[in-house]
Structure 1
Amino acid sequence: MRIGVIGAGSIGAVVAAKLREGAVPRAELAGISHKDPNPPDGLHAMPFDEMLDTADLVVECAGQQALATLGPRILDAGCDLLIVSVGALADQQLFERLLGAGPGAVHLSTGAIGGLDLLAAAAAMGPLHHVEIVTTKRAGSLIQPWMDDDQARRLRHAAAPVEVMRGPARTVTEAFPASANVAASVALAVRDWDVVEAAVVADPAAERTSHVITAEGAAGHYRFDITNQPSFRTPTSSRVVPYAVLSAIDGLVNPKGVFR
């Protein structure tokens, strides 16, 4: 399978380099499309349309705006699409637009968290009464353009953990597009945006990024406590994310003997 990659940041550059090295059996790098014609790590960028002509699967690693702009074109060209910026799907219009495009198929990367398969199974058995995800990151990495000076100053000078926002998963995902993809992933796994409450906590002492997911319903009670090393290049992302992408590619290319 020939794999195209959009974006050569902290996620896309690792994915592309590993594919080039042959890290996924029976998968090869078709090319990488990047806004900078000279992406890092010795990777060679190619025009987007040229990549579509050669790729079987395109991995989106370029952010929510790139997904909204390029996602439908990828699917309409007959390429499958693996989405990393899952938070973009909080936009219901984009979600429906992507699902309605084709003939390419849409796949989602689990990114920085796990347990989504079990949550999906529990939700299929019966309604979940309570689902919560609390994400804790370095305070400085959570400053957003929409914050006023007082809010930004509060985070920069925080001496203790501060809960920056709590609310419905869709609201929190839209407010923190680079940090709350995980809330969207949980909501999509349980197929109910309204039941999922999300919180974002800024911790000046946090050396790692943590996600605590709890859920309760007819199937049982669940708790997933996940702590990831932040990306060297992009602190809002976790270092494990590109490897989650590579694992997803491996599952698509070599589907025998893998968990589904």
Structure 2
Amino acid sequence: PRHIAFHRHMPGYWEVDDHDSWVDDCWPTKSAPWMLPLRFEQGFAIYREQVPIGRLTYRTVRWGRDLQIWLVEGRLYRSPNSMPDGPGKTIWGADQLAWLKRTILASDASFRVLVSPTPIVGPDRTRGKNDNHSNAAFATEGNHFRNWTKQHGLTNFFVCCGDRHWQYLSVDPATGLREFSCGPASDKHAGGTPGRNPKIQPFHRVKGGFLSVQVAQKGGRPAILFRHHGVRGQVFNEYRQVAD
């Protein structure tokens, strides 16, 4: 009921992840006998029916002159998590990755924000997790994309991610890419963190809440403000950047 009441007043952009499509940490060819007769393609079709977002489940949206966001698809084109890592292993697929790079470089927005269902910077816990770009299982594609952002000097580019049950701001030491994790929606579901790494994490909190992002003019120049909130809206962390 609370979610229904919330979305009566607040629109949203939706992304699909594992539990939205089929089963925990899934990919299209995963074997999950306990889910039968429901298969991946059927589960994904149900999501498409319930969340009619167009032909492709990845897209970009421009908000005025100062902000553009990207929403990516992390399940439909995914290689098996158990596949050995290498150049042929992917979360995004070749077409989506090419589209992502092309549209990011084409944007003249003051700030560019990638909204990812799963982490790209992390760090994530090493035991039992092999499903995102911050894990060793997808290190090749993860390193490639992070290095690509550095090669193109994307100082106004940020990542916001979900699927981790703790809040954080991480700065990749090799590329400077900044990632904000929104954390879980409730304190009860907080946990699973590998612990704070103070060398790369200015902020780390094992509690529930949400992440807000605001873009506004500050002294005649556009500025972006990221805030980590608690479950009652209280602010625990702020990060602000003024456009170059």
TM-score > 0.5, shorter chain as reference: no
TM-score of the superposed pair, with normalisation by structure 2? 0.35
